[in-house]
Amino acid sequence: MNTSRLTRMILVLALAASGAAQAADDSASDSDKIEAYREMISDGNPAEFDEMRGEELWKKPAGPKNASLEKCDLGKGAGVVKGAYAALPRYFKDTKKVQDLESRLLTCMTTLQGIPEADITAKPFASDKKPSDISSLATYVVGQSKGMKMAVSTKHPKEKEAYEIGKRIFNYRAGPYDFACSTCHATSDVRIRMQDLPNFNVKADAQSAYSSWPAYRVSQGLTRSFQWRLNDCFRQQRFPEPKFASEATVALTMYLAVSANGADYAGPGLKR
Amino acid sequence: MGNPMKIRASVKDGVTEVKVLMQHEMETGLRKEADGTLVPAWFITEVKAQHQGRTVLEAQYGQSISKNPYLLFRFKGGAVGEKVTVTWMDNKGDTRTDEAAIAA
């Protein structure tokens, strides 16, 4: 854990709060202060740099086949990025699978560019040392759905099935603490430390939570993908680390995405 | 050379508002790797903004400022189409300058 960053962020928070709150209300709650801080820097989300990086990667020939991803079909036709994320996950005929954005990018990178899958999945998340290509690509793609309505389909039987599996995983209690996702995310107005926990059984909560990911994490100085978010919550749940882009993570994403249908997609977001 | 900044500038009622997002690691020099080795200090020390050749902001930066700093400031004057230039310098002597045209 990068404590110096966290300390500095808290300092910034304190500064932001002292400016905004002093005049108005000294008793503003911590989440109000986080909201004020978010508002202040909403035009300065460093996720934009990751979007730029992702766009370059999308257009640049790479891999053994020296191909770009401009023929990648994210569900709206080859190369169409605009609005693609607002309808993901979805069923893809070519792979005969329901895929979320990251598993679909994985398909495109392996098939179009010829990059071995293991090279991508070995370290799918960015670190201080090294950015992640697949994660930057995801940031670029989601940015092209900003402001669009989330409309994820469950019409195809496989989509419906993924949704049902996702729902079961969400409520499945296990592990050393006997926790499920729902242990932390199915009650309103509760929090851990300073973080309000979204209640995914409440539409508005599900919408604001899902539509603000991927997000730049100020405390980590990195833009995080949705697969990362799930991975980290499985860790908080003390579950074994899920396989990147696995069927289980895609099903869970399907469940959460459908719960958020109708929201205006607002990512890439900005988190503490 | 540094990575590009994002600069947005807009003028309203005779006041130009400038929003700058810089890309920089802003390492304090106090942080350690998992193996105990110190991560060397690397941070922006100075930021300067100019409007049509006139300096409108000078700032000293240090370790307490976060990675990828965001800066918002306003100055009197400015007209649509005129340029705002922002430059940062860091403790390694690296520097980066970007500019943006003022929008309505």
Say which CATH number the domain at B32 has: 2.60.40.10
Q: Which CA distances in Å does A170 have to A85, A157, A166, A177, A241? A: 22, 20, 6, 15, 15
Poorest-pLDDT segment among A55-59, A74-78, A217-221, B77-81: A217-221
B62 in any annotated domain: yes
- The full set of domains in chain A, from first to last, is 1-44 (no CATH), 157-271 (1.10.760.10)
B53 in any annotated domain: yes
Helix (H), strand (E), coil (C) string for A101-153:
HHHHHHHHHHHCCCCCHHHHHCCCCCCCCCCCHHHHHHHHHHHCCCCCECCCC
Count of domains observed in chain B? 1
What are A31-51's pLDDT values in tens digits?
A: 787 777 767 766 789 999 999
Select the residue of A40, A45, A218 nearest B66 (Cβ to Cβ): A218
Confidence of residue B5 (pLDDT cuts 50, 70, 90): very high
Q: What is the pTM of this model?
A: 0.85
**Alpha-carbon distance A61 to A69, whole Å?**
8
Q: Which residues in chain A have Cβ-Cβ distances shorter than 8 Å to B35?
A: none
Chosen from B68, B72, B73, B74 to mutate, greatest number of chain A CBs within 10 A: B68
Q: Does B68 touch chain A (CB under 8 A)?
A: yes
Whether residue A221 and residue B68 make contact (CB cut-off 8 A), yes or no, is yes
Domain ranges, residue B35? 6-103
Q: What is the mean pLDDT of chain A?
A: 89
Select the residue of B20, B67, B70 nearest A221 (Cβ to Cβ): B67
B85 in any annotated domain: yes
Alpha-carbon dihedral of residues A210, A141, A82, A94, nearest 10 degrees?
-100
Which of A224, A92, A263, A70 is closest to A162 using CA atoms? A92
Whether residue A8 and residue B65 make contact (CB cut-off 8 A), yes or no, is yes
B1 in any annotated domain: no
A6 — alpha (psi -120 to 50), left (phi > 0) or beta? Answer: alpha
Q: Which residues in chain B have Cβ-Cβ distances shorter than 8 Å to A44?
A: 6, 19-21, 70, 72
Q: Decide: A262 and A209 in contact? Cβ < 8 Å.
A: no
Q: Which residues in chain B have Cβ-Cβ distances shorter than 8 Å to A10?
A: none
Q: Which residues in chain B have Cβ-Cβ distances shorter than 8 Å to A221?
A: 25, 66-68
Which of B41, B66, B46 is closest to A219 using CA atoms? B66
What would the mean pLDDT of A157-171 be, rounded to a whole number? 98
What pLDDT, on a 0 to 100 scale, did the predictor assign at position A7? 43
What would the mean pLDDT of B75-97 be, rounded to a whole number? 97
Chain B nearest CA to A140, separation (Å): 16
Q: Which residue of B has its CA nearest to A48?
A: B6
What pLDDT, on a 0 to 100 scale, did the predictor assign at position A27? 55
**Alpha-carbon distance B104 to B96, whole Å?**
26
Whether residue A43 and residue B8 make contact (CB cut-off 8 A), yes or no, is yes
Chain A nearest CA to B66, separation (Å): 6
What are A194-251's pLDDT values in tens digits?
A: 888 999 999 999 999 999 999 999 889 899 999 999 999 999 999 999 999 999 999 9
Confidence of residue A28 (pLDDT cuts 50, 70, 90): low
Interface of chain A toward chain B, CB-CB under 8 angstroms: 2, 4-5, 8-9, 11-12, 40-41, 43-46, 48-49, 218, 221
Q: Decide: A270 and A206 in contact? Cβ < 8 Å.
A: no
Q: Which residue of A has its CA nearest to B33?
A: A2
What pLDDT, on a 0 to 100 scale, did the predictor assign at position A250? 98
Q: Does B62 touch chain A (CB under 8 A)?
A: no
Poorest-pLDDT segment among A101-105, A165-169, A219-223: A219-223
Share of chain A above pLDDT 90, in %: 77
What would the mean pLDDT of A126-134 be, rounded to a whole number? 91
Whether residue A218 and residue B6 make contact (CB cut-off 8 A), yes or no, is no
